[in-house]
Amino acid sequence: MSINRKAIREKIAKRAEKEIYDGAYVNLGIGMPTMVANYISENKQVILQSENGLLGIGPFPTEEELDPDLINAGKETVTTVDGASYFSSAESFAMIRGGHIDVAILGAMEVAENGDLANWMIPGKMIKGMGGAMDLVHGAKKVVIIMEHVNRHGEPKIVDKCSLPLTGKRVVDRIITDRAVIDVTDEGLILKEIIGEYSFEEIQSSTEPTLKKGY
C-alpha cells in the first residue's frame, strides 16, 4: 500500500498550528514547518519571522501572487501580510538570540528522550550547513518539533539517544507526529494526544523510550 506523504505532512502541519497562540512571534523551520503558515486561523494575529530578514510572512503564494524576489530562509517563495518589514540577517538573528521568538516549529530526523535534537545533517551527505536551527533552539521560548513518527524504514525517530550530530541538547519542549503529541519533561516523555486510529500500545511500539500516559 502506497503512503500519501503529502496528506501526512498536511495533517501534522494542521495540528502544529494549534501550538501558535494569538499575538505570538513565530519562526517556521525549513521544510514541513513552512506548511503551517497555510493553516493559521483567521482569528489569530500571528507574526511569522524568517532568518533571512522578513517579519510578517503570509501563506504560500498563488500563481498570480508569485514574486521570485520574495523568499523565506528555505528559498521558497512566500507572501507578506500588511505591515511586514524587511531587515538584515544580523537583525534577524538578534531577534532570535535576544529571546524575542515565542515559538519555533522545526523539523527533525531524531529527538531523544531528554529533548536532544538532531535535525541538520546525515553523515556522508552533502549539506550547506546548520543554518539558523542552532540559534532557534536556544533562543526561542518554546521549541516544537514536527516530523513523521518513524523513518522510511519504519524505525523510530523518537529515540533513547540520538545517533546523528546534535543541533542542541535538551532543547525540545513538544513533539508532534502523524501519530501523537508528546511532551518532553524532566519526568520523561508524556503522551498527550493520540492522532488517528492508533492505540497506546501501537504508539509505544514505534517509540524507543518508554512513554507515560498524559491524556
> 46-83, pLDDT tens digit by residue?
999 999 999 999 989 999 999 999 999 888 999 999 99
Q: d(Cα 10, Cα 116) in Å, to the nearest integer?
A: 25
Using alpha carbons, select from 37, 49, 31 the residue that is nearest to residue 147: 31
Catalytic residue, from 10, 19, 42, 51: name it: 51
Over 80: is that where the pLDDT of 127 sits?
Answer: no
pLDDT of residue 121: 78
Portion of the chain with pLDDT greater than 90, in percent: 88
- In this prediction, residues 170-177 reach a mean pLDDT of 98
Q: Which of 100-109, 131-140, 206-215 has the lowest mean pLDDT?
A: 131-140
148 part of the active site: no
Tell me the whole-structure pTM to 2 decimals: 0.94
Over 60: is that where the pLDDT of 126 sits?
Answer: no
Q: d(Cα 54, Cα 34) in Å, to the nearest integer?
A: 14
Residue type, 20: I
Q: d(Cα 31, Cα 107) in Å, to the nearest integer?
A: 7
Give domain 5-213's CATH architecture: 3-Layer(aba) Sandwich (3.40)
Task: Name the pLDDT band for 128 (thresholds 50, 70, 90).
Answer: low
Query: Hey, what's the cell of 20?
Result: 501558535
- In this prediction, residues 124-147 reach a mean pLDDT of 86
Residues 110, 159: contact at Cβ < 8 Å? yes
